[in-house]
A and B are shown apart, each in its own frame.
Chain A
Amino acid sequence: MRLHDLPAYVRDTVLRMLPHRTRTGLRRVGHPGRDAPVLLTGNFTLTVRRLRDVLRGRDAFILVADSRGINVWCAAGGGHLTHHDVISAIRTSGVADQVDRKEVILPQLSATGVERRKITEATGFDTRWGPARLEDLPAFLDRGRRVHKDERKMRFPFWERMEMAAMWGVPTLVIGGLIVEPLGGLTVLAAVAASLVTIVVGVFALLPWLKVGPGWRWPTLGAFTVLGFGVASVVLALLGRFTSGPMMWVGASSLLSAGILSADLEGTTPSYGSYINTFHNPASVDLVEEKCTGAADCVQVCPRDVLQMDGKRRKVAIARPDQCIQCGACVVQCPESALRFRYADGSVVEAETIRRTRMNMVGKRTVPVPD
């Protein structure tokens, strides 16, 4: 990252729950010739900047599709980055006049929204999945546009978890600070901030070792609420304000901090499925084995290594169902519509529905299916 990008990076990170649009169309990195790779992304400012940074020193085209200013994964899941948008980007950008090799490299995480074959049918451009993460792109390009198996899997490194903590914590702290400081003073604000930072940063720092999924989210968030309250109490004691009024403030703010995280902590991680999407009716991916022809498109797009090809049987197997985060990529990509979601209440949502609505269902489009 260049120094002059820092203010925009801070803005986009802290406010990344909100879309940040950048212009769509074709951009050049270096001096791309007619055989240069064309890499597709959405028009979220942070993503485009990071893609440009990771490609620095190379010659490539970046094709920015209209994802409504939302990052690729969320946009694809919400139906805001689909093959319609990719077709639109290819046609309206004039990229076909710039390259001889008619191929677009798609971000793997766009697989919930983007149906590859429809792009080729409409534009004549071949498509290829890139790696799940931007930093693996140079290696992917160096080895002839081939994805290594490990590069399909999502990681959630410490610095990225801290970015998510900043996304949850900083706006909460700013808005909360504007209310707390005039009413309670700086000492109370310091204690409230200590509670918030303990809860938000603590949850994300320790996330790989925590249990947050079904059955565990409330105990885990409850434990961090107590921890945040404890740290804030120590701060108040050290500042000589360990009295009932300030204690009520930190009690309320600890509960509120955990409450805000509980809105959809899971959905802001690549480790858990979105809580908002399912609420108390957890879903899991379901394979209709008779339909499976072993095409294995699903294996190529799963960011959690849930699916495996059983070469002997020429069928896909759901090898690690506990790792599934219901992103929907496998369901959308299966050419035989052999995958679907099955909910805890026995209802299912079929591939055709996901392809029409993406994951933007809010539990309204399931149908009861007897076993």
Chain B
Amino acid sequence: MSSFVWMKVLESAPERYDRGVHRLSRGRIDDVYRRIAERVAAPARTILDIGCGTGGVSLACAARGAEVFGIDLDAGMLEVARAKPVPGDGTVTFLQLAAAEIEDRFPERTLDAVVSCLAFSELSPEQQAYALKIARTRLRPGGELLIADEVAPRSGARRAWYHLRRAPLIALTYVLTQTTTRPVAGLADAVRATGFREVTETRIWEDTFVLVHGVRAEAAGASASTEEGS
């Protein structure tokens, strides 16, 4: 898996983002979008997509009939997203909004799912914690959280190889765009600590990508399991 640090080059030209990220992931990013949509989207469900970018996840959820709100801070990415046709029977509204502003737009207990793909790693630890806390309050009881992002492999050798392969990409991307990305760490634990239940962590792509799923329940407490995907 090529590192998603290259995404920064793509974000500097939003019109190239979709094609670029498709190539970077060797076509597998579409599978992630579909996987997220299959897990949480259905007709009459209301979904919030945090850091929607050019709308890959939002539109995949709309294709399954959901009412989707995609939020992002990047005006250029949102322009690209808004220009795309909405597939299926769902609806999509794209808003220029930070994760910390969710509470201004969405009342408590109004969302059926909160999703995020390749965006949480952009947030500072305190922003991540705040976003998780607010997401939980905006979900209806039984509502789902699903976050997908780049992650460093767990095994030592694989981890070393991952960082070694990433280093030149980081340097080149930094020179080209003056920015970089960081893999997320401890996401499942943070989701559990926020009070989500039935938290599962699915690792894919040679342990370099993670999908963390949790459920909002009224009662306190959390359970967890980890499974290995493909």
User: Which A residues are closer than 8 A to B by beta carbons?
Assistant: 17-19, 23-25, 66, 68, 70, 79, 82, 84-85, 87-88, 91-93, 122, 356-358, 360
One of A24, A122, A356 near B126 (C-beta < 8 A): A24
Residues of chain B from 92 to 117 with CB closer than 8 A to chain A in the complex: 96-101, 104
Cβ of B174 and Cβ of A92 under 8 Å apart? no
Cβ of B101 and Cβ of A84 under 8 Å apart? yes
Cβ of B96 and Cβ of A93 under 8 Å apart? no
Cβ of B100 and Cβ of A87 under 8 Å apart? yes
Contacts A24-B124, A24-B126; A91 near B100 (Cβ below 8 A): yes
Q: How far is the CA of A136 from the CA of B100 in the complex (A)?
A: 32
Q: Which residues of A contact B101 (CB under 8 A)?
A: 84, 87-88, 122
28 contacts between A and B (CB under 8 A): A19-B179, A24-B124, A24-B126, A25-B126, A79-B75, A84-B96, A84-B97, A84-B98, A84-B101, A85-B98, A87-B100, A87-B101, A88-B98, A88-B99, A88-B101, A88-B127, A92-B124, A92-B126, A92-B127, A92-B129, A92-B130, A93-B126, A122-B101, A122-B104, A356-B96, A357-B75, A358-B75, A360-B76
Q: Which residues of B contact A92 (CB under 8 A)?
A: 100, 124, 126-127, 129-130
Q: Which residues of B contact A82 (CB under 8 A)?
A: 73
Q: Told that A85-B98, A88-B130 touch, could you supply 17 new A-B pairs with CB distance under 8 A?
A: A19-B179, A24-B124, A24-B126, A24-B127, A70-B178, A79-B74, A82-B73, A84-B73, A84-B96, A84-B100, A88-B98, A91-B100, A91-B130, A356-B75, A356-B96, A357-B75, A360-B76
Q: Which residues of B contact A91 (CB under 8 A)?
A: 100, 130
| 10 closest cross-chain pairs (CB), A and B | A88-B100, A84-B98, A92-B126, A92-B130, A91-B100, A357-B75, A88-B98, A356-B75, A24-B124, A18-B178
Number of interface residues of B (CB under 8 A): 19
Q: Which residues of A contact B96 (CB under 8 A)?
A: 84, 356
Q: How far is the CA of A358 from the CA of B75 in the complex (A)?
A: 9
B127 vs chain A, min Cβ distance (A): 5
Q: Which residues of B contact A122 (CB under 8 A)?
A: 101, 104
Q: Which residues of A contact B179 (CB under 8 A)?
A: 19, 68
User: Which B residues are closer than 8 A to A by beta carbons?
Assistant: 73-76, 96-101, 104, 124, 126-127, 129-130, 174, 178-179
A357 vs chain B, min Cβ distance (A): 5
Q: How far is the CA of A91 from the CA of B76 in the complex (A)?
A: 26
B196 vs chain A, min Cβ distance (A): 19
Contacts A84-B73, A88-B98; A18 near B174 (Cβ below 8 A): yes
Q: Which residues of A contact B76 (CB under 8 A)?
A: 357, 360
Q: Indicate the member of B74, B76, B124 with the most A CB atoms within 10 Å.
A: B124
Q: Indicate the member of B74, B98, B130 with the most A CB atoms within 10 Å.
A: B98
Q: Indicate the member of B74, B100, B101, B178 with the most A CB atoms within 10 Å.
A: B100
Q: Which residues of B contact A358 (CB under 8 A)?
A: 75
Q: Which residues of B contact A66 (CB under 8 A)?
A: 124, 127
Q: Which residues of B contact A84 (CB under 8 A)?
A: 73, 96-98, 100-101
A42 vs chain B, min Cβ distance (A): 13
Q: Indicate the member of A17, A18, A91, A356 with the most B CB atoms within 10 Å.
A: A91
